[in-house]
């Protein structure tokens, strides 16, 4: 079929396959007879990585790294294989299956649909339940690819892919892995935003765990209802800041579902050990509350101490049921995202992709651009428009990258300017929250640049155009959530101050991107290097074509997660994200940079994710955050944990003992 991925040329037998983690050990789920160690009560938030914590002895590839943060709760456990029968199936080995007939056909992680061979049709009583033709998985892929491509609306394609995931998970993940460039914008941004908005009207089958305030005192019991017992990765959202769309209530569950699909397709984390979770604490979206078909918790959003207690109960519950499980916080609003991350990052292995993943992918783009231009951190002046969770996270990691490169802390501080809805963030402003205070520009630096600051809170603060004109930045980054923020006067002012401006309008979906790449290239007379948070087509101007690289977190979080899981890291540190950024930048080819793109093609995602996972796992072991010995073969460990979706041979088990429904 036209459009078939060339990756098919490589046989299934040659694919890297999840063969299970290497060493046997005790079960992860704890029962009432052997309770999990108590999670330590919240202490003061562990310090973020800053120059005050630099340890010159920690180096990797010539980069100075910060000293590892010590987690306050330590729960080493042995590396585990996948639960049966998936341990053998994922390795391509014959496995005994305890269900048969229509029940087997309806198990989404076990079914092969029309690819069951004749001997298995006989053994499992499938004759008559399937058409006569036996398909290969390649033929199934062609058929499903055709089913999706004939749908002209992106949301309908999303619904079609979700239906395939519900019916045959192996085929879904294989299709996504082989056609990532085509389907990434469908299963994730920008189409997933529409799916969140329409969730109550398009959902066909629920998945994951939904927790409401009514569940606060029974969260461990609710978690134990998950389809599989050995959960190692949770993506959880409270649904309040879904992409740039705000509070989407229960519809935000599409985000954890989509992220976990990418974990599997991008780096082979088997879906049997993953779980999407919605903290459905209500919604302040009046349109949802008025919708008679809204399927979420119909109440105003929980806030304050009650909200904090609910999140604490969730974290305690996860620790009780799956101690050591990696938790990815997703799409929490800024006022909760930062403090939740700081509260729990020293107690459980966790990270916030909106803060840390976004920061890493931005640093990677800047590193790639500097390599292309032959410049370094000392040459950069950076303006960040948008001081929410993503913006402040980017600023912190940029500062850490500069300091790690040997730049003095004060110089790194002065090189980064932050703009919020009030204007320039500077030390003379009152009422700044602690996260902005740590990034505020000194008053004397602003005035030396010719900026006029408000006096005693009176008068306007310098706006984005003022700051760009005065500071002449080399890099302009947008996380505002407002389309058109990078106007023609702003881009032209930037282009007047630097030969090769680096412009990163990161807000997504596409409708709220700070600028359209074609405009940025036109207004800079073709001199700008542009990358965006949402996908954009190539730009043609004056006989030249620019590829627009997408600063997509999918280049970062799968490798971070896989590396942390295989190493059983007790924490996910800032150093790991800086390493991930460096690794991603190294995978941008010279040809991509010449074409204008600052990121690899999505087709390289699995290779990039593997490389990041290897570095993250190695860092966890080096930093003493992993129970694994220092002589662990990390590459073999990572390779053994990367499942490639394929069918394996089945044998009929002698005694029926049906496992629980597949999670897929």
C-alpha 485/C-alpha 513 separation (Å) is 8
Reduced to 3 states (helix: H, G, I; strand: E, B; else coil), residue 505 is strand
C-alpha 179/C-alpha 200 separation (Å) is 28
> Comparing C-alpha atoms, which of 144, 142, 138, 140 is closest to residue 114?
140
Residues 188, 228, 344, 650: which is the catalytic one?
188
DSSP, res 533: S
- For residue 486, count other CB atoms closer than 10 A to its CB: 27
Q: Is the dihedral of CA 471, 473, 479, 484 positive or negative?
A: positive
- Cis peptide preceding 497, ω within 30 of 0: no
> Comparing C-alpha atoms, which of 645, 651, 658, 647 is closest to residue 111?
647
Largest CA distance in the chain: 83
> Comparing C-alpha atoms, which of 137, 281, 255, 138 is closest to residue 190?
255
> Comparing C-alpha atoms, which of 557, 569, 618, 595 is closest to residue 364?
557
Reduced to 3 states (helix: H, G, I; strand: E, B; else coil), residue 292 is coil
Reduced to 3 states (helix: H, G, I; strand: E, B; else coil), residue 196 is helix
Phi and psi dihedrals of 28, rounded to 5? -80, -40
Token pair 């079960």 is at which residue? 27
List strand residue ranges (DSSP E) for 44-199, in order. 54-60, 63-66, 95-97
376 backbone φψ class: left, alpha, beta (φ>0; ψ -120 to 50)? beta
188 is catalytic: yes
How remote is the C-alpha of 616 from its chain's centroid? 15
DSSP 464-504: HHHHHHHH--SEEEE--S-TT-S-HHHHHHHHHH-SS-EEE
**219 within 8 A of 313, measured Cβ to Cβ:** yes
**632 within 8 A of 621, measured Cβ to Cβ:** yes
- For residue 93, count other CB atoms closer than 10 A to its CB: 13
**537 within 8 A of 548, measured Cβ to Cβ:** yes
C-alpha 121/C-alpha 126 separation (Å) is 5
C-alpha 302/C-alpha 560 separation (Å) is 31
C-alpha 150/C-alpha 616 separation (Å) is 41
Both tokens of 336, joined, read 């909760």
> Comparing C-alpha atoms, which of 604, 605, 582 is closest to residue 366?
582
C-alpha 325/C-alpha 233 separation (Å) is 6
Residues 158, 173, 228, 259: which is the catalytic one?
259
Both tokens of 221, joined, read 């019991």
C-alpha 333/C-alpha 303 separation (Å) is 12
Which residues are annotated as catalytic?
A: 188, 259
């Amino acid at each position: 079929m036209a459009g078939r991925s060339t990756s098919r040329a490589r046989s299934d037998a040659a694919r890297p396959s999840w063969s299970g983690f290497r060493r046997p050990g005790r079960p992860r789920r704890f029962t009432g007879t052997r309770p999990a160690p108590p999670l330590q009560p919240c202490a003061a938030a562990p310090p973020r990585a800053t120059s005050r914590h630099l340890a010159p002895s920690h180096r990797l590839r010539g980069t100075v790294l910060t000293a590892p943060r010590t987690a306050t709760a330590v729960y080493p456990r042995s590396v585990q294989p996948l639960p049966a029968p998936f341990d053998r199936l994922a390795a391509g080995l014959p496995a005994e299956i305890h269900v048969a007939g229509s029940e087997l056909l309806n198990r989404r992680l076990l079914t092969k649909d029309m690819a069951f061979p004749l001997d298995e049709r006989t053994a499992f009583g499938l004759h008559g339940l399937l058409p006569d033709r036996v398909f290969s998985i390649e033929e199934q892929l062609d058929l499903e690819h055709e089913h999706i491509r004939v749908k002209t609306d992106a949301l309908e394609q999303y619904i079609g892919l979700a239906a395939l995931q519900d019916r045959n998970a192996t085929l879904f993940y294989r299709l996504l892995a082989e056609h990532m460039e085509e389907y990434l914008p469908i299963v994730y941004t920008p189409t997933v935003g529409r799916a969140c908005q329409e969730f109550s009207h398009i959902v066909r089958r629920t998945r994951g765990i939904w927790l409401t305030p009514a569940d606060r005192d029974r969260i461990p019991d609710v978690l134990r209802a998950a389809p599989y017992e050995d959960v190692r990765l949770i993506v959880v959202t409270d649904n309040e800041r879904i992409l740039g769309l705000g509070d989407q209530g229960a519809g935000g569950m599409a985000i954890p579902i989509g992220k976990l699909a990418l974990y599997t397709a991008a780096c082979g984390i088997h879906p049997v050990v993953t779980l999407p979770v919605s903290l459905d604490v209500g919604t302040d979206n009046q349109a949802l509350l008025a919708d008679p078909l809204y399927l979420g918790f119909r109440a105003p959003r929980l806030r304050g101490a009650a909200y904090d207690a609910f999140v604490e109960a969730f974290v305690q519950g996860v620790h009780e049921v799956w101690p050591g499980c990696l938790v990815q916080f997703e799409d929490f609003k800024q006022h909760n995202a930062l403090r939740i991350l700081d509260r729990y990052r020293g107690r459980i292995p966790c990270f916030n992709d909106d803060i840390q993943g976004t920061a890493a992918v931005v640093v990677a783009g800047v590193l790639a651009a500097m390599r292309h231009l032959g410049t370094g951190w000392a040459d950069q002046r950076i303006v960040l428009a948008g001081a929410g969770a993503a913006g402040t996270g980017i600023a912190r990691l940029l500062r850490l990258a500069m300091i790690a490169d040997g730049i003095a802390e004060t110089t790194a501080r002065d090189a980064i300017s932050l703009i919020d809805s009030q204007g320039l963030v500077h030390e003379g402003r009152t009422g700044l929250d602690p996260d902005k205070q740590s990034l505020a520009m000194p008053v004397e630096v602003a005035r030396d640049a010719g900026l006029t600051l408000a006096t005693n809170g009176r008068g306007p603060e310098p706006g984005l155009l003022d700051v760009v004109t005065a500071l002449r930045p080399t890099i302009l980054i947008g996380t505002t959530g407002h389309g058109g923020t990078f106007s023609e006067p702003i881009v032209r002012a930037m282009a007047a101050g630097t030969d090769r401006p680096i412009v990163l309008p990161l807000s997504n979906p596409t409708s709220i991107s700070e600028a359209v790449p074609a405009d940025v290239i036109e207004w800079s007379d073709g001199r700008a290097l542009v990358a965006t948070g949402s996908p954009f087509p190539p730009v043609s101007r004056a006989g030249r074509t620019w590829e627009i690289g997408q600063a997509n977190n999918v280049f970062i979080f799968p490798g971070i997660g896989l590396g942390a899981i295989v190493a059983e890291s007790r924490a996910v540190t800032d150093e790991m994200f800086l390493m991930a950024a460096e690794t991603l930048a190294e995978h941008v080819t010279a040809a991509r940079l010449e074409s204008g793109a600052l990121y690899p093609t999505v087709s390289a995602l699995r290779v990039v994710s593997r490389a990041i996972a290897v570095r993250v796992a190695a860092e966890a072991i080096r930093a003493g955050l992993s129970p694994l010995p220092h002589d662990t073969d990390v590459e073999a460990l990572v390779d053994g944990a990367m499942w490639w979706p394929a069918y394996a041979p089945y044998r009929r088990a002698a005694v029926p003992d049906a496992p629980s429904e597949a999670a897929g």
